Amino acid sequence: MTQAPVNVTVTGAAGQIGYALLFRIASGQLLGPDTPVKLRLLEIPQAVKAAEGTALELEDGAFPLLAGIDIFDDAKQAFAGANVALLVGARPRTKGMERADLLEANGGIFKPQGEAINAGAADDIRVLVVGNPANTNALIAQSHAPDVPAERFTAMTRLDHNRAVAQLAKKLNAPVGEITKLTIWGNHSASQYPDIFHAEVGGRNAAEAVNDEKWLAEEFIPRVAKRGAEIIEARGASSAASAANAAIDHIHDWVLGTPEGDWTSMAVPSDGSYGVPEGLISSFPVRCRDGKYEIVQGLEINEFSRTRIDASVAELAEEREAVKKLGLI
């Protein structure tokens, strides 16, 4: 081992995504083959035993990069010294629950977690919120961590990005590896906008290669935006392995960089770019280098895109208003 272990805190560790995620972190896919990791798992008390079971299996993996596993049911302890935090555990919407109830229930999770990150995480902490509603949960956590630079709080739209890449590749009969510069804008919800106008396929503009606005508007965009629901309908449970895969991709690229000549999509606090109100945690095209991300600037936004970006951003602004009213931020 060439360096000190990196502390990776994972919440909701005993859940579906947790099970798909932890083994890949332990195998080095999150931070690369030279970086040992210590896992710090956070669960609610009733699920600690299940997390302990997963820890036994992790031990049985004999992963050379896994330098330790600790399990907690207390957020302050779980985030102490964390360098990377994957906030996966969240309160799902249940029957009869209104939107405000959902936001409030998640406020009860993400407010104390934000406070715990503020109190004890390492100076280089990077946070990815996966638990839904991911963008607004990230906003809640961030607003309770005033001592942590705001840009360290991000939410996951990489699954949407990967879904869009796969659908576009299929349409163009091209390998996924040839698709670059695709962008997800806005919220991780059905209002998100997957944008192919700047995307390329083997270096050629993807929108021109598709040349089919009907397919774009009526098939591609709704398919990507509603893919989460399609998976739930087919599997009887929400996406897990693909979500874990996207979480790995998000942190991997943030820490180790996006490939030359490409970018990715991350929901990050807006600096006002592309008319997105400052502070909203909205998905943008981002490039990562030297452990930092930056929003890709200067893209021309056509009318087709503008309307759709604005609609998703308006939904984020409404969610921010709702959690403000509830006193959660």
Cα(80)–Cα(39) distance, integer angstroms: 12
Residue pair 179/201 in contact (Cβ under 8 Å)? The answer is yes
Closest approach of ligand LMR to the CB of residue 94, in Å: 12
As measured in angstroms, the least distance from the Cβ of 239 to ligand NAD is 5
**Residue 216 binds which entry of ligand LMR, ligand NAD, none, with Cβ cut-offs from 5 to 8 Å by kind?**
none
From the list 101, 106, 89, the residue with the least C-alpha distance to 144 is 106
Binders in 193-222 for ligand LMR, by CB under 6 A: none
Choice from 85, 103, 159, 224 touching ligand NAD (CB under 6 A):
159
State the Cα–Cα distance between residues 98 and 88, nearest whole angstrom.
21
Q: Using CB under 6 A as the criterion, what x/- string covers residues 238-267 for binding ligand LMR?
A: xx---x------------------------
Alpha-carbon span 128 to 167, nearest angstrom: 25
Which amino acid, 72?
Answer: F
From CA 243, how far away is CA 41, in angstroms rounded?
18
Q: Which does 276 bind (CB under 5 to 8 A by kind): ligand NAD, ligand LMR, none?
A: none
Q: Rank residues 11 and 83 by Cβ distance to ligand LMR and give the closer one.
A: 11
Residues in the interface with ligand NAD (CB under 6 A) total 27
Tokens of 284: 């943008």
Minimum distance from residue 240 beta carbon to ligand LMR (Å): 9
Cβ contact 58:22 at 8 Å: yes
For the chain, helix, strand, coil in percent to 5 are: 45, 20, 35
Choose from ligand NAD, ligand LMR, none: what does 11 bind? Cβ within 5-8 Å by kind: ligand NAD
Q: 């993807």: which residue's tokens?
A: 206
Which of 12, 89, 228, 285 contacts ligand LMR by CB under 6 A? 228
Q: Are 38 and 6 in contact (CB under 8 A)?
A: yes
| Annotated catalytic residue 161 | no
Q: Helices in 121-175 by DSSP H: which ranges? A: 134-143, 158-172
Least distance in angstroms from the C-beta of 292 to ligand NAD = 22
Q: Which helix (H) or strand (E) holds 96?
A: none
Of 20 and 288, nearer to ligand NAD (C-beta) is: 20
Annotated binding site for substrate: 93, 99, 132, 163
Residues of this chain that bind ligand LMR (CB under 6 A): 132, 159, 228, 231, 238-239, 243
Catalytic residue set: 188
Residues of this chain that bind ligand NAD (CB under 6 A): 11-12, 14-18, 42-44, 47, 88-90, 92, 109, 130-132, 134, 156, 159, 188, 238-240, 243
